[in-house]
Amino acid sequence: MGNIVVLGAQWGDEGKGKVVDLFAERFDIVIRYQGGHNAGHTVRIQDRQFILKLVPSGILCGKLAVIGNGLVIDPAALLEEIEMLEKAGIQVRGRLFISNRAHVIFPFHRMLERISEARPGRLAIGTTSRGIGPCYEDKVARRGIRMADLLDRDNFRQLYDALAEDKEVVRTAFRIGEPIDFAAIRAQYEEYAERLRPMVCDTAKLLNEAIRSGRRLLFEGAQGTMLDIDHGTYPFVTSSSACAGGAPIGAGVPPTAIHAVVGVSKAYVTRVGGGPFPTEALDERGEALRRVGVEFGAVTGRPRRCGWFDIPLLRYTAMINGFDSLVITKLDVLDQFDEIPVCVGYKLHGQPIDEMPATHRAMSAVEPVYEMLPGWRSSTFGLTRYEDLPTRARQYLDFLEERIGVEIGCISTGPERDQTIWRPGGKLRDLLER
Ligand code: IMP
């Protein structure tokens, strides 16, 4: 009983790493279910900081960690991350399990992505350039190579050579001058296979057996709902199902095995890469959010676009995911403002709308309707008790909660585990204890 999904309620980078790390002690296994090393979960534990891209952050507190079938894996990136963790004294072997059905990223995926992003006349998505999209393309086209294939030497050679032939056709058709040394890549991947072999298994079986024996699972979303391939701001999205519905598919457990969904949202909004962002603040206040919030991508170092809290967006992601509770992060970044704009509605061509536009053109034309809330102008950094929050900060949170229609069960006031406020009377604590 009591398996939960924790995921981003905006465009990613909401601070899920810390939240998962905070919740993980109550669970037995932490599972990633989609994406790849485009994600960057930052976890601070005392004076140590870890940026995890593929390995579920539960590994840091001694839990079992599973990389599910829904992921795309760059073996070089994964091995590098394992090495980094082991050097830091974290035990990975025997605790990390990789799905034999997860797909494998190759260097030519990255190359094709770079070329496709730069082609004149194409919409540049502003991807993380990790080869994520092209790898998922091969998966859906049914020519992808999975971990199980990589480990099966003869089969791998055959599948790999067929895939290489396809990519060579693409390279020639698009007149890509850069040669691809397919044989060298194959040899390299055969070596990676041996290093990863002890960790690869049927993780769906492992998880279902764990459920039967009463162990508790925590599913860790990557990116955020607005980057979901179906429900996000298409085509400015990632290539996987980042919403809660992606968890059962990407982990191989029945939907009925998930008992609660927790959304994580910043007290404002950020986005990396291209695409519509109705509440983006392009003035000095946006700059202030970036500076105080240190809003630079954990994976790519790109400056994040910053803006104001968007209620219609949260109402939408609450609808898609069915949030039972919300965690609000980085409240302290708003400490300095006299007034805080909050978007309470959208207008399109002057008319109020009550649904999320489906096209990026319409989404880009949305005019946010703001209400100004008074700032509190005192430090909330590191507070641990709800009663210690300034009255106006509490009013800000009450306003969000009431308009979104989902309780705010927890507030993060800094990067450390203990810089956290549990909302008195909130049901989140019960959900975690169940
Ligand atoms: P991709 O996932 O590399 O294909 O990039 C697609 C879009 O998702 C781009 O706008 C990226 O900036 C964004 N994206 C991918 N991963 C993350 C993440 O972990 N946080 C925030 N944005 C992300």
Mean pLDDT by 10 residues, the chain (434 residues): 93 93 94 94 83 92 95 98 95 96 97 86 88 97 97 95 94 85 97 98 98 97 97 97 98 97 98 96 96 87 94 98 98 97 97 96 97 97 97 98 98 93 91 85
Strand partners for 29? 64, 217
| 41 among known catalytic residues | yes
CA angle 223, 226, 227 (to 5 degrees): 45
User: Who contacts 259 (Cβ-Cβ below 8 Å, separation ≥6)?
Assistant: 1, 2, 3, 4, 431, 434
Tell me how far apart the alpha carbons of residues 325 and 188 are, in angstroms, rounded to a whole number. 45
**What DSSP state is assigned to residue 423?**
P
- CA–centroid distance, 67 to ligand 1, in Å, is 19
Q: Could you identify the residue written with the tokens 């298409």?
A: 234
Helix (H) / strand (E) containing 86: helix 75-87
- CA–centroid distance, 378 to ligand 1, in Å, is 34
Contact 40 CB / ligand 1 (< 6 Å): yes
| Cβ atoms of 423 and 325 closer than 8 Å | no
Tell me how far apart the alpha carbons of residues 181 and 161 are, in angstroms, rounded to a whole number. 12
State both tokens at 381.
């950094």
| 37 among known catalytic residues | no
Q: Which domains does the chain have, with CATH numbers?
A: 4-99+201-257 (3.40.440.10), 103-196 (1.10.300.10), 265-433 (3.90.170.10)
- Measured by CA distance, the residue closest to atom 11 of ligand 1 is 127
Predicted pLDDT of residue 1 = 57
Is 355 buried (19+), middle (13-18) or exposed (0-12) by CB count in 10 A?
exposed
Predicted pLDDT of residue 298 = 74
Express each pLDDT in 304-327 by its tens digit: 999 999 999 999 999 999 999 999
pTM of the entire predicted model = 0.96
- CA–centroid distance, 237 to ligand 1, in Å, is 7
Express each pLDDT in 333-357 by its tens digit: 999 999 999 999 999 999 999 999 9
CA angle 149, 150, 155 (to 5 degrees): 50
Predicted pLDDT of residue 120 = 82
List, as one string, the DSSP characters of 381-416. Answer: TT---GGGS-HHHHHHHHHHHHHHTS-EEEEE-SSS
CA distances (Å), origin 421, targets 268, 293, 386, 394, 413: 18, 19, 6, 12, 7
